[in-house]
């Protein structure tokens, strides 16, 4: 697996670490459990990182020096692709030919590396975009920067060269075909999963005690990277709108924001805190650093509602994790979120990003215990449809299809 710009060893929720990290980590471990050795190539970001680290038995992470030993913005990484590719090829050169059977690249930067390695090693390339520049540019948050033309061209090249493309949803599959001219037969839809052992229902009371929250608090939670694309500001505006309409809730409302600045959010890392002050809800808003494991599950269990107001999501793993914990989700009706959230069953989809619509949707769940309980129970059932084991099984089927396609391409045509 190739993951140039972020490592599965990094904590999701800040910098460039997010759902893709979770995806790579869980699918790699699941493959190893099935006897498939996996190596993940990622860029080294610190001199003290070992050249090779074990993520789990059967899964190695190779840190490839490419550029300075420090995090780089994604806009800086194309200049390091040559060095990264050289490191990948050098690592393979220490093995017998045919050591790697298949390349799975994640995100367009990795796809560029995979494209070259595919030709050198004579193995098939499977590519997962995770996000698409043309889709992001069509749904920009106010003040956010469009993805550069360099990325658009890079994505088009990878789509053309990959033996198989993995889409998270049917919506993304149609986008690959319609916007990028992908061969429909090369596109395979494989829905991501959720860790059903870690994210389970649990008592809200214990979770709230651990977080220092009142038992009668009305808790809205946002989990993810703090950047315009993820739109945590929509939640703050909705909370302020709700308090203007229902001022008696001011002493009970808590807005939990869990995550760190990322992407263009790094340019104004205090912007969300300043927004809370300007909206008059600084006392109601609590900021927590990125959480993992049981601590993250506690956040979901403590919330009455988890908000996912993104302007674009290829799927929405946070929505699945929250639902697996028995917490209903209010999400934007964009990208893969209509798959991750069953509208009116496990949560509510909001067709706009206006404060009034979001306040109404959030209050409609948080202030109606019976409905919240019903949707919470449905949410657990809905989330159980998705597992990393199921995702991995489908990926292995895609790998087999890619290998077959690759061999067909190599087979010479016989003149008749």
DSSP 237-282: HHHHHHHHH-GGGTTTEEEEEE--B-GGGGGSTTHHHHHHHHTT-T
pLDDT tens column, 175-199: 999 999 999 999 999 999 999 999 9
Does the structural domain 204-384 have CATH classification 2.60.40.1180? Answer: no
Binding site residues for 1D-myo-inositol 3-phosphate, as ranges?
5, 16-21, 74, 107, 131, 151
Element (H, E) at 306: strand 305-308
pLDDT at residue 72 is higher than 90: no
Binding site residues, as ranges?
5, 11-12, 16-21, 74, 107, 131, 151, 225, 230, 291, 300-301, 303, 313, 321, 327
pLDDT at residue 143 is higher than 80: no
Distance of alpha carbon 202 from alpha carbon 148, whole angstroms: 44
* Mean pLDDT, the chain, whole residue set: 93
User: Distance of CA 416 to CAs 358, 410, 411, 413, Å?
Assistant: 65, 18, 15, 9
Asked if 221 and 302 count as a contact pair (C-beta separation under 8 A), the reply is: yes
CA Rg value for the chain: 22
**Mean pLDDT, residues 391-409 taken together:** 92
Q: Give CATH 3.40.50.2000 domain extents, the chain.
A: 2-193+388-411, 204-384
Binding site residues for Mg(2+), as ranges?
300-301, 303, 327
pLDDT tens column, 312-352: 998 889 999 999 999 999 999 999 999 999 999 999 999 99
pLDDT at residue 264 is higher than 60: no
Q: Supply the angle between the helices 369-383 and 355-366 in degrees, to the nearest 10.
A: 90
Beta-strand relationship, 52-56 and 59-64 = antiparallel
Asked if 51 and 24 count as a contact pair (C-beta separation under 8 A), the reply is: no
Write down the pLDDT at residue 73.
83
Q: Six-digit token pair at 111? A: 């796809």
pLDDT tens column, 28-54: 999 999 999 999 999 999 999 999 999
Write down the pLDDT at residue 263.
59
Q: What is the DSSP letter of 414?
A: P
Say which residue the tokens 């520049």 belong to.
Answer: 133
Distance of alpha carbon 107 from alpha carbon 74, whole angstroms: 11
Write down the pLDDT at residue 267.
52
Write down the pLDDT at residue 318.
95
Distance of alpha carbon 388 from alpha carbon 188, whole angstroms: 16
Binding site residues for UDP-N-acetyl-alpha-D-glucosamine, as ranges?
11-12, 19, 225, 230, 291, 313, 321
Contacts (Cβ under 8 Å, ≥6 apart) of 222: 230, 232, 235, 255, 256, 257, 258, 259, 306, 307, 308, 309
pLDDT at residue 56 is higher than 80: yes
Lowest model confidence (mean pLDDT) among 183-187, 252-256, 275-279, 289-293:
289-293
Write down the pLDDT at residue 144.
80
pLDDT at residue 414 is higher than 60: no
The CATH class, in words, for 2-193+388-411 is alpha beta
pLDDT at residue 373 is higher than 80: yes
pLDDT tens column, 87-128: 999 999 999 989 999 999 999 999 999 999 999 999 999 999
Strand partners, 93: none
Write down the pLDDT at residue 242.
97
């Amino acid at each position: 697996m190739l993951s140039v710009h972020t490592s599965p060893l990094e904590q999701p929720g800040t910098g460039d670490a997010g759902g893709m990290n979770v995806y790579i980590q869980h699918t790699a471990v699941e493959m190893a459990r099935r006897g498939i050795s996996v190596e993940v190539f990622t860029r080294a970001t610190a001199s003290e990182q070992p050249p090779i680290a074990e993520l789990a038995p059967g899964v190695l992470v190779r840190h490839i020096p490419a550029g300075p030993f420090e995090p780089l913005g994604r806009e800086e990484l194309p200049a390091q692709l040559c060095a990264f590719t050289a490191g990948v090829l050098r690592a393979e050169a220490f093995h017998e030919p045919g050591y790697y059977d298949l390349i799975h690249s994640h995100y367009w930067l990795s796809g560029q590396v995979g494209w070259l390695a595919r030709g050198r090693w004579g193995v098939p390339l499977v590519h997962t975009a995770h996000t698409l520049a043309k889709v992001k540019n069509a749904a920009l948050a106010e003040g956010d920067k469009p993805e550069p033309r360099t990325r658009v061209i890079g994505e088009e090249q990878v789509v053309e060269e990959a033996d198989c493309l993995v889409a998270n949803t049917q919506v993304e599959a149609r986008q690959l075909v319609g916007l990028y001219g992908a061969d429909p037969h090369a596109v395979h839809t494989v829905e991501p999963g959720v860790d059903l052992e870690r994210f389970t229902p649990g008592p809200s009371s214990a979770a709230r005690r651990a977080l220092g929250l009142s038992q009668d608090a009305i808790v809205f939670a946002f989990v993810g990277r703090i950047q315009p694309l993820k739109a945590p500001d929509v939640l703050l505006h909705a909370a302020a709108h709700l308090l203007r309409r229902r001022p008696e809730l001011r002493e009970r409302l808590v807005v939990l924001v869990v995550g760190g600045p990322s992407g263009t959010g790094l340019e104004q890392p205090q912007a969300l805190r300043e927004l809370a002050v300007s909206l008059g809800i600084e006392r109601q808003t609590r900021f927590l650093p990125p959480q993992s494991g049981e601590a993250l599950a506690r956040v979901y269990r403590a919330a009455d509602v988890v908000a996912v107001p993104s302007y674009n999501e290829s799927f929405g793993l946070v929505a699945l994790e929250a639902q697996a914990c028995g917490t209903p989700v209010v999400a934007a009706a964009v990208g893969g979120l209509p798959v991750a959230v069953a509208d009116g069953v496990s949560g509510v989809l909001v067709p706009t990003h206006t404060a009034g619509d979001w306040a109404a949707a959030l209050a409609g769940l948080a202030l109606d215990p019976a409905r919240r309980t019903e949707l919470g129970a449905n949410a657990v059932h809905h989330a159980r449809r998705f597992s990393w084991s199921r995702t991995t099984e489908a990926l292995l089927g895609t790998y087999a299809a890619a290998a077959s396609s690759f061999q067909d391409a190599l087979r010479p045509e016989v003149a008749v």
